[in-house]
Structure 1
Amino acid sequence: MERGSQMFTYRIDQELQLKLWQKQDAQRLFELMEESREHIRTFLGFTDSTKEVSDTEKFIETALRSYAENSAYHMGILFNRELVGTMSLHDIDMNNKSAEIGYWISKNYEGKGIISRTCKGLLDAAFHELGLNRVQIQAVTSNNRSRAVPERLGFKQEGIIRQKEYLHGKFEDHALYGILKEDWVSN
């Protein structure tokens, strides 16, 4: 993952690429979220506070600041050059060589292995290029599709974080998964 002045892309394979968000992506990212709003809203609370393009512009501004501070990479997932979802490597802690991955994908692209393949590529970069030792993923316990990704990639479920998130009027538990560099390399 080469860090450019304000922009990078990272090729996963022939079909998939990660692209750092830029200000000009706000409209398309908002449209993608709108197309999948009801679908992703079940498990992701930000949909209720993202009501117009300006909300997405603010998110991208924050994402770019996080990138400049080397604390997060918020990226679009491009499948055959079309934006289909988002992935982030966030809460980057270089002192402890750890980070967390988050993601969501358009309902029209679920079930094609896109998130798993992209996550695998991001893990390769996290461990081999960024020098991280640990990466974690959290998901609402009832989000079976999201939980299947770390399970498929060899993460260990490390526990349940009780009432981690207040989502749509109730507290939701999160499943916590982690993988170490030594586990990834031996995979």
Structure 2
Amino acid sequence: MKIIPMTAEACLKRLEPADAEEMFWLTDVNRPYLRQWLPWLDMVREVKDTARFIALTIDQHHRRQGTHYGIWYNGRLAGTLGVHSIDWANRKTSIGYWLGAQFQGKGLMTQAVAAYLDHLVFGEWDLERVAIQAATGNHKSRAIPERLGFRLEGVLRSNEFLYDHYVDHAVYGMLAAEWRSRTSADESGSGT
């Protein structure tokens, strides 16, 4: 079980089959909240649907196409993040994430994405580029790449069908050198 520390109260832990019940519960109790922006809620009706997703992420990891982590806060699953796939020829990927409403406002997702980028995307995998897409109206999700210094690269019109309508997506990008420069500046500025 791979664990990436974030804070004294929070860490990232690679999703495993034992997480299915808690992940389903978190999804289910947040269904109306998550439905505003995530198109897959209707496909998750039972614990076995969540277990199937976790099995796919484990297979994804074994095929070297990335991995998904649970975001754990005080011993409870708060949300998830992971890559959609990895384009090894071009050394790039895109990430997605979600957080239960009861865990909002604690800085968890910003810390989780930063740790994921440090340890995996620009660390272990040594990729050149990562993208984050979010519906233009999803201000909470868009705030994550903006806080982390990603560049807004454009808007994809009618990019995703969300139950009964299309939404535009803002596309943010970060290059490895930009991330390393940002984190170096943060480290050198912290001691002054």
Q: TM-score range by the shorter chain?
A: over 0.9
- Counterpart amino acid of residue 13 in structure 1: T
Gapped runs of 5+ residues in structure 2? 183-192
- 1:103 to partner: Cα distance: 0.6
Which of 102, 117, 134 lines up with 1:139 in the alignment? 134
Which of 158, 163, 169 lines up with 1:163 in the alignment? 158
**1:31 paired residue number:** 25
TM-score norm. by structure 1 comes to: 0.93
Q: What is the alpha-carbon distance in structure 1 between the residues aligned to residue 11 and residue 140 of structure 2?
A: 21
**2:186 paired residue number:** none
Alignment of 1:1-150 (within 5 A): 7-125=1-119, 126-150=121-145
RMSD: 1.1
Q: What's the CA shift string for 1:21-42, capped at 9, x where partnerless?
A: 1112111100000111110110
- Percentage of identical aligned residues: 39
**1:3 paired residue number:** none
**Equivalent residue of 1:154, what SS?**
coil
Q: What is the alpha-carbon distance in structure 2 between the residues aligned to residue 155 and residue 85 of structure 1?
A: 21
Consecutive aligned runs of 4 or more in structure 1 exceeding 4 Å deviation: none
1:152 aligns with 2:147: yes
- Counterpart amino acid of residue 4 in structure 2: Y
Q: What is the alpha-carbon distance in structure 2 between the residues aligned to residue 94 and residue 15 of structure 1?
A: 34
Query: Is the helix fraction higher in 1 or 2?
Result: 2
**2:189 paired residue number:** none
1:177 aligns with 2:160: no
Q: What is the alpha-carbon distance in structure 2 between the residues aligned to residue 103 and residue 127 of structure 1?
A: 18
- 1:82 to partner: Cα distance: 1.4
- 1:61 to partner: Cα distance: 1.3
Q: What is the alpha-carbon distance in structure 2 between the residues aligned to residue 110 and residue 17 of structure 1?
A: 16
Gapped runs of 5+ residues in structure 1? 1-6
User: Which deviates more, 10-19 or 83-92?
Assistant: 10-19
Q: What is the alpha-carbon distance in structure 2 between the residues aligned to residue 160 and residue 44 of structure 1?
A: 18
Q: What's the CA shift string for 1:127-155, capped at 9, x where partnerless?
A: 12221111110001110000000001000
- 1:93 to partner: Cα distance: 1.8
